[in-house]
């Protein structure tokens, strides 16, 4: 099944040509009933995709990764999203035993001490829960944008995710920041107020800061590390 599913990536690219995002989402839901899921962190980008799913009442599962270290503002927009769309975003949490052992051995802020500790923390809090969330699904929808990271410039709207054995759909990959903001405003979509304070890529509170004028989009994530290491492992690019 994995081979045929992988081969379907090119077919979806062809079938979706000229369709709106909502039409592509509906196509995916029809083609893979019960096997299409969207991961949201309640960022600007993810709220655009969530609006398309919820406002069109599409049968697509929506989940988030609650790492236990998110900003209070993230929980607020999560709640306001559920209220506006009468939705129930499912949360996936870290394995409690793995997290308890990691914190016991290394302390609650070990991610500042080394890249190894930070990546282990990301794995426990995000990567492993993501793998659980994606199990049994054929399509993983994301809010990735090429503008956010040099590593994403070569991505395609439809791609095969070898690590998770799913088709990945990145509907707003080539949108500009201005286009995202315009969509949010025009559709009165709830959004994280941290975006108005210079936060671009919003993750865990201890690992995210606002960026300064002229800084790269990813400068606010793991700012104490070398720029070349700034991915958490959720999106593995071949």
State the average pLDDT over residues 176-198. 96
User: Would you state the pLDDT for residue 221?
Assistant: 79
Q: Is residue 234 pLDDT above 80, yes or no? A: no
Q: Which of 121, 204, 207, 232 is catalytic?
A: 232
CATH code that applies to domain 2-192: 3.40.50.620
232 is catalytic: yes
Rounded to 5°, angle at Cα 20 from 41 and 80: 30
Q: Is residue 117 pLDDT above 60, yes or no? A: yes
Average pLDDT, the chain: 91
Best-predicted range by mean pLDDT (93-97, 111-115, 144-148):
93-97
Which tens digit of pLDDT belongs to each residue from 53-83?
999 999 999 999 999 999 999 999 999 999 9
User: Would you state the pLDDT for residue 150?
Assistant: 59
Q: Is residue 151 pLDDT above 80, yes or no? A: no
Q: For residues 223 and 88, which has the higher predicted lDDT (pLDDT)?
A: 88
Q: Is residue 222 pLDDT above 90, yes or no? A: no
> Could you give the dihedral angle defined by the CA atoms of residues 142, 48, 181 and 228, in that order, rounded to the nearest 10 degrees?
-10
Confidence of residue 238 (pLDDT cuts 50, 70, 90): very low
Which tens digit of pLDDT belongs to each residue from 124-143?
999 999 999 999 999 999 99
């Amino acid at each position: 099944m994995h081979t045929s599913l992988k081969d379907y990536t090119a077919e979806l690219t062809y079938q979706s040509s000229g369709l709106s995002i909502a039409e592509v989402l509906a196509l995916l839901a029809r083609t893979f009933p019960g096997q299409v899921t969207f991961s949201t962190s309640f960022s600007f980008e993810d709220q655009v995709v969530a609006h398309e799913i919820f406002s069109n009442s599409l049968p697509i599962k929506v989940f988030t990764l609650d790492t236990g270290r998110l900003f209070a503002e993230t929980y607020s927009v999560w709640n306001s999203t559920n209220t506006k769309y009468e939705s129930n975003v499912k949360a996936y949490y870290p394995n409690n035993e793995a997290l308890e052992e990691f914190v016991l051995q290394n302390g609650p802020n070990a991610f500042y001490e080394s890249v190894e500790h930070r990546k282990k923390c990301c794995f426990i809090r995000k990567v492993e829960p993501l793998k659980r969330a994606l199990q049994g699904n054929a399509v993983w929808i994301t809010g990735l944008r090429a503008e956010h990271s040099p590593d994403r410039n070569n991505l395609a709207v439809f791609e095969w995710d070898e690590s998770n054995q799913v088709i990945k759909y990145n509907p707003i990959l080539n949108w500009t920041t201005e286009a995202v903001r315009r969509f949010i405003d025009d559709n009165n979509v709830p959004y994280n107020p941290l975006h108005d304070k210079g936060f671009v890529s919003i993750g865990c509170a201890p690992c995210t800061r606002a960026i300064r004028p002229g800084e790269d989009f990813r400068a606010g994530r793991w700012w104490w590390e070398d720029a070349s290491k700034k991915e958490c492992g959720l999106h593995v690019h071949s």
